[in-house]
Each structure stands twice: as structure tokens, then as C-alpha cells.
């Protein structure tokens, strides 16, 4: 391939892929060190490493989101909307996050019937749930709850926490509306909301398409990250 044929976005995507692979190796090694600290009773180091591992996992999730958005934009992402057990999907996502939540002593729970089945792209929706859990991890006091319900022809996924909730300026019908700007003060780029909104919109049924909503309240009175898929 000639040098002129290599686009900047292709170069960035390739670099992100390399960074993601390197980060996975680092996370694996950090988890081994963390386990050793726990075994020898160095609980302070164990807890400190928990925060580092969380940040590394969050960065890895962001890199995966960027790669997914790149592939979706290039129409090379193998979108696979198929019948899926939602209880199994949520269970797998929670299992992936269980150790990180334990570092912060966060109570993690789910409420979804075993027979809850829906047509979704499993990998992309798992990415949305991971993003929501990462966000809830930062702001919850000590509880996070994931629920799934089928109502009026929609699958509703809710990630609720017992933190202070979303600030008024972020409360919109579409969470993506709150993510258009970049905040240099907080370091927020809105990537997670944008990714989740795009994934929701990809799920369509007739003239209906998925949506992302943020609100306050729920079972714990804190922030509620809501995904509705037709």
C-alpha cells in the first residue's frame, strides 16, 4: 500500500489496537501482583492496586469503544443482532467487573428473569453495560444495581447507583445531548455516552430505534443510566 493511501484515522486505529494489546498485558500483570499482595496480607497495597487496575480497565474499555466506532464508521464492524439471553449477558458483564468492584467494597446486584430474551448485538450491548458500570463505579457510594425488563415491546436495561445522581445540565431525554462538548476541567470527552447512544440507535425495529436516557431516582435514589431497545 502506498503511503498516500494510509489515512490518518487508519493510522490512529492501528495505534489504538497496539495500545489495547499492551494495556491488556499490563492489567494481567497488575492483577497477579494484587493477588500476591492479598495473599501476604498487604491490604493497603491490595486496595491501592485496585484503583490502578480499575483505571487501566477503564482505559482499555475506552480504547475498545474507539475501535468499535472506527469500524462502525468504516462499515466494517460485523454487526450481529441475534437472539440473546439477557440474564446471561448481564451476568457475564458483572462477573468481569466483580473483582474491581470488590476493591471498593461496592455491592453489585442484578434483577433479571432467567427467561428474558431479546434481539441484540451481544458484544456491543456488553460494551454499553461496561461503560455504564465504569461510570457508576466513580460516583456511587457503595451500591450498583443492573436490571432488565421487557415493557410494551421494549427491552429496558437500567444501571442504578446510590450516588448523588446526574447534575441538572446533563438530564436530557437523550444522554448523547449531554456529551457533545469536551470538558478540559473534568477531562470528560463524552466518549462513553456517544458510544452507548450510537449502539442504542443501531438497534431498530420498524420505525422504532433504541435510545439512551439518563435520569435520577430508581431504587437507590442516585443516577440511572437507561438503555431502551425495540
Residue with C-alpha cell 448485538? Answer: 121
Alpha-carbon span 131 to 191, nearest angstrom: 10
pLDDT at 1: 44
Are 51 and 161 found together in one domain? Answer: no
Q: How far is it, in rounded angstroms, from Cα 171 to Cα 101?
A: 26
Question: Tell me, what's the pLDDT at 189?
Answer: 56
**Same domain, yes or no, for 87 and 124?**
yes
Task: Check residue 77 and give its pLDDT.
Answer: 79
86 shares its domain with 8:
no
Q: What's the domain range around 139? A: 81-229
- Secondary structure of the chain: what % helix, strand, coil (to 5)? 55, 20, 25
Contacts of 23 by beta carbon, 8 Å cutoff, 6+ apart: 56, 59, 60, 63
pLDDT band, residue 210 (cuts 50/70/90):
very high
Q: pLDDT of 104-113, one tens digit each?
A: 888 999 999 9
Domain total of the chain: 2
Q: Is 187 exposed, middle or buried (0-12, 13-18, 19+ CB in 10 A)?
A: exposed
Same-domain check for residues 12 and 63: yes
Top-confidence residue, 51 or 185? 51
Closest listed residue to residue 166, CA positions, set 101, 131, 214: 214
Of 55, 73, 91, which residue sits at a domain end?
73
Clarify whether residues 36 and 63 are in a common domain: yes
Q: Indicate whether 35 and 99 sit together in one domain.
A: no
Q: Among 73, 107, 133, which residue terminates a domain?
A: 73
* Tens of pLDDT, residues 44-68: 888 888 888 888 888 888 888 888 8
Compute CA distances 37 → 44, 57, 140, whole Å: 9, 19, 26
**Number of helices and strands (H, E) in the chain?**
5, 9
Do residue 64 and residue 109 come from a single domain?
Answer: no
Q: Which residues pair with 227 in a beta bridge?
A: 157, 212
Percent of the chain with pLDDT over 90: 41
Confidence band, pLDDT 50/70/90 cuts, at residue 10: confident
pLDDT at 94: 93
Verify that 180 and 116 share a domain, yes or no.
yes
Q: Whole-angstrom Cα distance, residue 100 to residue 196?
A: 21
Claim to verify: residue 120 and residue 175 sit in the same structural domain: yes
pLDDT-based confidence at residue 144 (cuts at 50, 70, 90): very high
Please check whether residues 137 and 225 belong to one and the same domain: yes
pLDDT computed for residue 123 by the predictor: 92
151 and 194 in a common domain: yes
pLDDT, tens digit, 9 for 90 and up, residues 155-178: 999 999 999 988 887 775 444 444
**pTM, full prediction:** 0.80
Amino acid at each position: 500500500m502506498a503511503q498516500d493511501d494510509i489515512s490518518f484515522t487508519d493510522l490512529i486505529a492501528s495505534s489504538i489496537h497496539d495500545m489495547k494489546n499492551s494495556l491488556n498485558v499490563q492489567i494481567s500483570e497488575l492483577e497477579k501482583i494484587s493477588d500476591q499482595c492479598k495473599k501476604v496480607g498487604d491490604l493497603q497495597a491490595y486496595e491501592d492496586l485496585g484503583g490502578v487496575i480499575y483505571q487501566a480497565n477503564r482505559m482499555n474499555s475506552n480504547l475498545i469503544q474507539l475501535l468499535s466506532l472506527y469500524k462502525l464508521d468504516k462499515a466494517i464492524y460485523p454487526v450481529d443482532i441475534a437472539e440473546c439471553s439477557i440474564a446471561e449477558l448481564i451476568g457475564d458483564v458483572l462477573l468481569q467487573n466483580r473483582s474491581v468492584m470488590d476493591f471498593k467494597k461496592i455491592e453489585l446486584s442484578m434483577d433479571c428473569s432467567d427467561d428474558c430474551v431479546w434481539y441484540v448485538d451481544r458484544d456491543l450491548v456488553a460494551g454499553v453495560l461496561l461503560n455504564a458500570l465504569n461510570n457508576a463505579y466513580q460516583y456511587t457510594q457503595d451500591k450498583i444495581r443492573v436490571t432488565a425488563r421487557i415493557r410494551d415491546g421494549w427491552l429496558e436495561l437500567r444501571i442504578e447507583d446510590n450516588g448523588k445522581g446526574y447534575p441538572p445540565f446533563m438530564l436530557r431525554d437523550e444522554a448523547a445531548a449531554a456529551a457533545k462538548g469536551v470538558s478540559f476541567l473534568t477531562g470528560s470527552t463524552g466518549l462513553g455516552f456517544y458510544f452507548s447512544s450510537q449502539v442504542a440507535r443501531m438497534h431498530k425495529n420498524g420505525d422504532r430505534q433504541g435510545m439512551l436516557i439518563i435520569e435520577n431516582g430508581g431504587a437507590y435514589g442516585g443516577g440511572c443510566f437507561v438503555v431502551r431497545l425495540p
